[in-house]
């Protein structure tokens, strides 16, 4: 999993993965997406290949890359417990915010009602 996390830590490699999420692409098509020289693109593709995130096959003179999502699923599984923790905490925060809004409305309603009552007393009503 360390190799996968290292591979996805780079923006250029994430761009390649996103493009491959739409389907296979040649090395040239992937290179066109990145603002770097071709040797740099080759290094990024090698890192992705070594991490098991892409497969490559030869099609004539071209290399065609395909996404392998299994290593990302492993990372997603590892992150799931943290995601669950944050969802619980965010749900609790949402509940507290809603409770605070309800209390403020109740306080404002009580204050408004008290003001009307005070005005009626002052005017003799």
Contact between residue 34 and residue 16 where contact means Cβ atoms under 8 Å apart: yes
- Do 53 and 15 fall into the same domain? yes
- What CATH number is given to the structural domain containing 44? 1.10.10.10
pLDDT at 121: 57
The mean pLDDT value for 15-19 works out to 97
In tens, the pLDDT along 29-39 reads 999 999 999 99
For residues 74 and 120, state if they share a domain: yes
How many domains would you assign to the chain?
Answer: 2
∠ at Cα 82 (80, 83), nearest 5°? 60
Confidence grade of residue 119 (pLDDT, cut at 50, 70, 90): low
Instruction: Write down the pLDDT at residue 122.
Output: 58
Look at residue 102 in the predicted model and tell me its pLDDT: 84
| Residues 78, 63 share a domain | no
- Which of 42, 68, 94 is a domain's end point? 68
Residues in CB range of 88: below 8 A, 6 or more apart: none
In terms of residues, how long is the chain? 125
**Which residue did the predictor score with more confidence, 121 or 41?**
41
**75 and 37 in a common domain:** no
Question: Are 53 and 103 within one domain?
Answer: no
Domain with 103, as residue range(s), is 70-125
- Mean pLDDT in the chain? 89
Are 64 and 6 in a shared domain? yes
Last residue of a domain, one of 28, 52, 68: 68
Q: Are 4 and 51 in contact (CB under 8 A)?
A: yes
What is the C-alpha to C-alpha distance for residues 16 and 14, in angstroms, rounded to an integer? 5
Q: Same domain for 63 and 104?
A: no
pLDDT of res. 117: 56
Of all residues in the chain, what percent carry a pLDDT higher than 90? 65
Is the same domain home to 43 and 62? Answer: yes
Tell me, yes or no, whether 57 and 77 share the same domain.
Answer: no
Q: What is the pLDDT of residues 48-88, one digit of tens each?
A: 999 999 999 999 999 999 999 999 999 999 999 898 888 88
Residue 114's Cβ-side half-sphere holds a number of Cα atoms within 13 Å equal to 6
């Amino acid at each position: 999993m360390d190799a996968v996390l290292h591979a996805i830590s780079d923006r250029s490699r994430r761009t390649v993965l996103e493009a491959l999420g739409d389907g296979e692409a040649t090395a040239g098509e992937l290179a066109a997406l990145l603002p770097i020289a071709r040797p740099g693109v080759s290094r990024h593709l090698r890192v992705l290949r070594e991490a098991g995130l892409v497969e490559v096959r030869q099609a004539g003179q071209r290399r065609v890359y395909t996404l392998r999502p299994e290593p990302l699923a492993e990372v997603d599984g590892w992150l799931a417990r943290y995601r669950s923790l944050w969802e619980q905490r965010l749900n609790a925060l949402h509940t507290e915010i809603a409770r605070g809004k309800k209390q403020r409305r109740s306080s404002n309603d009580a204050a408004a009602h008290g003001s009307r009552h005070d005005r009626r007393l002052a005017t003799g009503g």
